[in-house]
Structure 1
């Protein structure tokens, strides 16, 4: 099969890295189209031997991009189109339907209680999403939490399949050499106890809560390390100064070496207000760390004392931090995670879904008559083509 993945952008992010892992493992012939921001992950995908098309959109309402995307789909004669993230679902599903692509699939990576991918859930956003959903056969939800929110939104339950995000366990394994190197780069020594977080610095991650909770615990031997960048950085730096711990909170900025960053930590914390999966928590556990978290749907049904659910208030979080810092538990693995979330198994499930849908699909999708995954399973557009 020939499969085109359409994604909003390819800067470093959870959905973008999931796509990279998927296309380099798929048994099908994959290509990728980015609406805009074909950044670092685009280079990674190209280096893996997968063609990347940059649609070169300059605004979110560039309707002419629909024509470019449709032309690409027709010219390359794809058997399936798989869209990722809100904006690409809107453009990609319409383009695929109008191009007569036999199989149209979307993955919903991040739908919260009040926001969709950091976009407030307005009536207009919801209606546009649901309208373009009529062009697709299946929506993949990365967790049962996401599936339930999609049903509440109005996506027919019969069209939803739950396939979790996957983890490349080799990519996030503990690396003692990388630990020493990363700590040296960041001005940390081996005797420091390092509480670490990994993710975009935005309000949903509530890193301000973590700084407030951790501040009384940070001393000559204890540091807080924030790996990531985003619009909250300046405010968070100010909060660290207000609490008198600016010299004990390290802002590492964006880093693509996830294993090295995790290896530099001694304790991992995720204190998001909302989560649809919780990939960073799983990656921390795969690195051998103990992880404190406020919400992580991916851990539902996973019995382990290596992941500790904690309160979402400064006092409760501080007590949990103090307990784990005093315990100083060594690294250890959670074997069940590999069984549930190994990237190879996740890719196999998605590849199989394409095949089953194509086997059932003899004609292009007609408007409003999308067959569901439940039934199915029992030289154009590419401006700046890379790879």
Structure 2
């Protein structure tokens, strides 16, 4: 907990709860927001349900203290009373709780103290891969002071739960790297993709499309995930081994995207693409599948859309854009991307938090000290 300010009031404490902490877009959004809110007078403590080693390291890179509950518990999608009870003492001294993903805000709703505002964020469509928990979600939604919905599917979900329109707010993510310069030695021309190597991202469709182009461009697949090995094998089968490169997960993809000929987002589902907005901000043409929130992101001529699951159409559009046909004017994309800098997003959340909080007392609450931190203090 930070020291009291000179005015005798403590900085405001946000307990941020996340269903699964891994290297993904929702997690980066939460961590970037936590870092940006320091300038607005907020301290953040992060409590994770599931966590990977890479996710814990990512939190450390943003200097956000984190405690984790479990591994492989599917707490993005599943309600857990054990997780709720683990959270209870950790939320007791928070000024506001912001929970990301259903399992996190369900658990927080069960134990957050009366008078402490609870807000939720959903970053993805709710597909319920581990059982239908709509009834539990609807019951927990009544405790929410606000619901930040990232994309049309999340907005529809909040509405279906009965969250009042006044409490349904636009979820906004911070994107950084708009000042990136290309790394030396990158191939040119080149196509880029950035995201998890997961079926929902449609990277396999991109490979099939590249194989249909007579002289396919060098393509960088920035990211990691469960499909890495199968994508590597498929690129060899398609004769693309020397054209498709997998550098792995990179924290700053802008250095690869900057100066690219084209950035492709071939997703099967996508609430809002951080990599698409990064490319727009860098002046790189964006080609995406017309699913969920991507038509909004690329509206008003900011990018080019093709049907999902259609390698032929994707190949045609890649070839057209690489030959300079139908390339969007970069100016509208740069203007749109400028809305998602830390300087724009942090005040949006800070103002919402302050509006929801009761008037803060001059005397601080007794802070929760984790067993690990208490042990460290005794050493």
TM norm structure 2: 0.80
Whether 1:261 and 2:256 are equivalent positions in the alignment is: yes
Secondary structure of 2:224's counterpart equals coil
Number of paired residues?
A: 347
The higher relative CO (CA closer than 8 Å, separation ≥ 6) is in 1
**2:25 matches 1:29:** no
- Name 1:355's counterpart in structure 2: 354
User: Is 1:67–2:55 an aligned residue pair?
Assistant: no
Indicate the residue corresponding to 1:207 in structure 2: 203
Q: CA deviation at 1:211?
A: 0.8
Offset of residue 58 of structure 1: 6.4
Cα 1:241–1:132 change in 2 (3 A) is same
Alpha-carbon distance in structure 1 between the residues aligned to 2:232 and 2:286: 24
| Matching residue within 197, 212, 215 for 1:216 | 212
Tell me how far 1:259 sits from its aligned partner: 1.7
Among candidates 102, 118, 126, match of residue 104 of structure 1:
118
1:130 aligned to 130, 138, 141, which one? Answer: 138
- Secondary structure of 1:327's match? coil
Q: Distance in 2 between matches of 1:109 and 1:227?
A: 21
CA distance in 2 between counterparts of 1:201 and 1:227 reads 9
Q: How does 1:41-120 map to 2 (within 5 A)?
A: 42-46=56-60, 48-56=62-70, 59-60=73-74, 63-74=81-92, 77-96=93-112, 99-100=113-114, 102-111=116-125, 115=127, 119-120=128-129
SS in 2 for 1:120: coil
Give the corresponding residue for 1:273: 268
Superposition deviation, residue 147 in structure 1: 1.0
Deviation string, structure 1 residues 149-197 (Cα, Å, up to 9, x no partner): 332x32323354332323344x243313x2x15x3xxxxxx4x421111
Deviations 1:255-275 (A, max 9, x none): 222222323632111111222
Q: Contact (CA 8 Å) 1:141, 1:160: kept in 2 or not?
A: no
Structure 2 Cα separation of the partners of residues 55 and 212 of structure 1: 40
Cα distance change of structure 1 residues 33 and 338 upon mapping to structure 2, 3 Å threshold? same
For the Cα contact (< 8 Å) 1:3–1:79, is it kept in 2?
yes
- Kindly provide the CA deviation profile for residues 25-52 of structure 1, in whole angstroms up to 9, marking residues without a partner as x: 2122222212232644544544555433
The Cα of 1:346 is off from its aligned counterpart by 2.1
Asked whether the equivalents of residues 196 and 225 of structure 2 are also in contact (C-alpha less than 8 Å), the reply is yes
* Segment of structure 1 superposing worse, 334-343 or 137-146: 334-343
Of the candidates 216, 221, 229, which is equivalent to residue 226 of structure 1?
221
How far apart are 1:361 and its partner, in Å?
11
Residue 222 of structure 1 deviates from its aligned partner by: 2.2
* TM-score, length-scaled by structure 1: 0.79
**Could you list the runs of 5+ residues in structure 1 that have no partner in the other structure?**
184-189, 363-378
Between the aligned partners of 1:168 and 1:159, the Cα distance in structure 2 is 26
Distance in 2 (CA, whole Å) between partners of 1:57 and 1:331 is 46
Tell me the residue number matched to 1:155.
162
Aligned to 1:283: 278
Distance 2:140 2:110 in 1: 6
Q: Measure the CA separation in 2 of the matches of 1:315 and 1:280.
A: 23
For the residue of structure 2 that corresponds to 1:128, the secondary structure is helix
The 2-side partners of 1:46 and 1:215 are apart by: 40
Q: What is the CA distance between 1:218 and its match in structure 2?
A: 6.2
Change (3 A) 1:62 1:198: same
Compared with structure 1, are the counterparts of its residues 263 and 50 closer, same or farther at alpha carbon in structure 2 (3 Å cutoff)?
Answer: same
Partner of 2:231: 236
Unaligned runs of 5+ in 2: 1-11, 362-367
Note if contact 2:109-2:140 (Cα within 8 Å) is conserved in structure 1: yes
Aligned to 2:23: 12
Q: What's the CA shift for 1:71?
A: 0.9
SS at match of 2:258: helix
**Partner Cα separation in structure 1 for residue 334 and residue 373 of structure 2:** 43
In 1, Cα distance between equivalents of 2:322 and 2:118: 48
Question: Alpha-carbon deviation of 1:233?
Answer: 2.1
* CA distance, structure 2, for counterparts of residue 16 and residue 80 of structure 1: 19
Q: Is the aligned partner of 1:165 residue 2:194?
A: no
Q: Give the C-alpha shift of residue 343 in structure 1.
A: 3.0
Secondary structure of 2:22's partner? coil
Structure 1 residues 25 and 262: alpha-carbon distance in aligned structure 2, compared to 1, 3 A threshold: same
Which residue of structure 1 aligns with residue 14 of structure 2? Answer: 3
1:365 is matched with which residue? none
